[in-house]
A and B are shown apart, each in its own frame.
Chain A
Amino acid sequence: GQQVMQIPQYQHVQEGEDFTTYCNSSTTLSNIQWYKQRPGGHPVFLIQLVKSGEVKKQKRLTFQFGEAKKNSSLHITATQTTDVGTYFCAGPRTGTYKYIFGTGTRLKVLA
């Protein structure tokens, strides 16, 4: 079946360092969404990318959708302790609006 994988599974960084998580889908996606889940919390929508090669920025966060629309990345510049959490990508199952979540990347930021 359709799978969405993320690497790395875990990442520990010193505050101020950059962080990147990569998302890879087994199938071409019509769009991709990114979510952040704080420890003990629920997923919060960050952004949606639709176009091939699209790049969007939100302050220190940069999101990219691959040319083949099968992969995506989230890059955080100069991490802060508030960036701690698990970042999930999610893509719709082919032909539906049901989203399949990636395996997630758990980020810890050391002060």
Chain B
Amino acid sequence: GAVVSQHPSRVICKSGTSVKIECRSLDFQATTMFWYRQFPKQSLMLMATSNEGSKATYEQGVEKDKFLINHASLTLSTLTVTSAHPEDSSFYICSARAMAGELRETQYFGPGTRLLVL
């Protein structure tokens, strides 16, 4: 159990376009999902916390108008990188925190999305 999927796994886009990344918890419900960004050979940096039914909270320095997050259901959160630029190229990873039960304290990570902006 506790599987999180992300789609797409890889995306290449032109500068100025928008890219949507989906994060789904497949076999559990997640009131909270987290979005991270990881540059090559670096650690994971938390970008924002996505709460079902409410506005996402963003970490300091992360532009909320550039990284739009929607958490419409207990199993789906989306991250849209608007007007992407080459410096947005990175590995974007989501994680989901289970609502209750023995999974509750653990984050389960999706497989990540590699974004390349040309």
Tell me the A residues contacting B by CB distance below 8 Å. Answer: 31, 33, 35, 41-45, 48, 88, 97-104, 106
In the complex, are the beta carbons of A43 and B49 less than 8 A apart?
A: no
Closest residue of chain A to B32, judged by CB? A97
Tally of contacts, chain A with chain B, CB under 8 A: 42
In the complex, are the beta carbons of A31 and B43 less than 8 A apart?
A: no
Q: Which residues of A contact B44 (CB under 8 A)?
A: 43, 88, 101
Return the CB mask of B77-117 against A: 1 if under 8 Å, else 0: 00000000000000001000100000001111111100000
Q: Which residues of A contact B106 (CB under 8 A)?
A: 33, 45, 48
Tell me the B residues contacting A by CB distance below 8 Å. Answer: 32, 34, 36, 41-46, 49, 93, 97, 105-112
**In the complex, how many angstroms separate the beta carbon of B27 from the nearest chain A beta carbon?**
15
Interface of chain B: mostly helix, strand, loop or mixed? strand
In the complex, are the beta carbons of A98 and B46 less than 8 A apart?
A: yes
In the complex, are the beta carbons of B97 and A104 less than 8 A apart?
A: no
In the complex, are the beta carbons of A42 and B43 less than 8 A apart?
A: no
Q: Which residues of A contact B43 (CB under 8 A)?
A: 88, 101-104
In the complex, are the beta carbons of A45 and B108 less than 8 A apart?
A: yes
- Which of B32, B43, B110 has the largest count of A CB atoms less than 10 A from its CB? B43
In the complex, are the beta carbons of B107 and A99 less than 8 A apart?
A: yes
**In the complex, how many angstroms separate the beta carbon of B76 from the nearest chain A beta carbon?**
18
Q: Which residues of A contact B41 (CB under 8 A)?
A: 106
In the complex, are the beta carbons of A44 and B97 less than 8 A apart?
A: no
- Cα-based distance from A45 to B41 in the complex (angstroms): 19
- Cα-based distance from A42 to B106 in the complex (angstroms): 15
